[in-house]
Structure 1
Amino acid sequence: MAFHEKRAWMALVVSIVVAMGYLILIAGRLGDAGHDASAVDYVPAMLISIGVGIVATIVGQIVLSALNPRDTPKLDVRDREIERLGSRVGQAFLVIGGLAGLGLAMLRVDPFWIAHALYLGFLLSSLLDCVTRVVVYRRGVPAW
């Protein structure tokens, strides 16, 4: 398995674990608040989950590099194309999440839902970016 494919797998696992932890925490708080979204204090948990995701991804990349120092090649043409394709796919959902948040703000929806629409856009962007990279590493770069 190529080093950059390992990085994509690691980032995918981190994204899923952090998102599931956040979802479980917020679902519990939402249940405790009687399903009143405006009563849920989600901001600290969201900021912590974003920070944990960033730090865990960086630490994971450092660990991968340290465990296999000879396996950390520079990006070649194929790796760059895979990175570019993954980013393009992921950015689509980043835009969709941004538009959803903007639409909810225009409708004057509770900030809880606006923040979570944006968070979901970031999460889907990350997940689809990683999944795209893994699939392309396994099946090859499509010839468009």
Structure 2
Amino acid sequence: MSHEEKRAWVYAVIAGVVPVVYAVIVFGRLADASVAEISYVRPLLIAVGVAILANVLADTLMGASRGAGRRDERDVGIFRYGTQAGYYVLAAGAAGALLLTLAGFEHFWIANALYLAFVLDALVSSIAKIVAYRRGF
């Protein structure tokens, strides 16, 4: 397994775990309170910060491994392919958040739609990269 494929796996795991913890914390409050009463900003910022720090830490730890930093044409192509796949998902999610804004939804839903768009971008791009490494590109 190449360094870039390992990196895609780590990115996918972080992009899958952190939002689930955030969702359990924030959406668990919906049973007891209305959307306007839920304090979601701090947990959202903490989730984003934790994901960023976890990725930086993982990158640093993986950078010490053999083969880190060496990318060939195949790695570059797979990275571009995965990133492009994620961009489509991110654009659709941003359009969805824009529609929520135009429809007058609460900030809670708009912010979470944007966060979901970024999470799905990370997951789709990582999965596309992993599939490309496993099945060929």
Q: TM-score range by the shorter chain?
A: over 0.9
Alpha-carbon shift at residue 128 of structure 1 (Å): 0.2
Q: Distance in 1 between matches of 2:67 and 2:125?
A: 22
Q: Distance in 2 between matches of 1:97 and 1:43?
A: 19
What is aligned with 1:91? 87
**SS of match in other structure, 1:49:** helix
Unaligned regions of 5+ residues in structure 2, if any? none
How many residues matched? 137
In the TM superposition, structure 1's runs of 4+ consecutive aligned residues that sit over 4 Å from their partners are none
Alpha-carbon shift at residue 31 of structure 1 (Å): 2.1
Alpha-carbon shift at residue 104 of structure 1 (Å): 0.7
Match of 1:77 among 61, 69, 73: 73
What is aligned with 2:28? 28
Q: Distance in 1 between matches of 2:120 and 2:83?
A: 12
What is aligned with 2:56? 58
What is aligned with 1:3? 3
Q: Distance in 1 between matches of 2:67 and 2:133?
A: 16
Q: Distance in 2 between matches of 1:53 and 1:73?
A: 22
Instruction: Compute the RMSD of aligned alpha carbons.
Output: 0.9
What is aligned with 1:106? 102
Q: Distance in 2 between matches of 1:73 and 1:27?
A: 39
**SS of match in other structure, 1:74:** coil
Alpha-carbon shift at residue 81 of structure 1 (Å): 0.3
Q: Distance in 1 between matches of 2:39 and 2:132?
A: 40
What is aligned with 1:131? 127
What is aligned with 2:136? 140
Give the letter aligned to residue 100 of structure 1. G
Task: Give the TM-score normalised by the residue count of structure 2.
Answer: 0.96
Higher RCO (CA < 8 A, seq sep 6+): 2
Unaligned regions of 5+ residues in structure 1, if any? none
Q: Percent of aligned positions with the same letter in both sequences?
A: 38
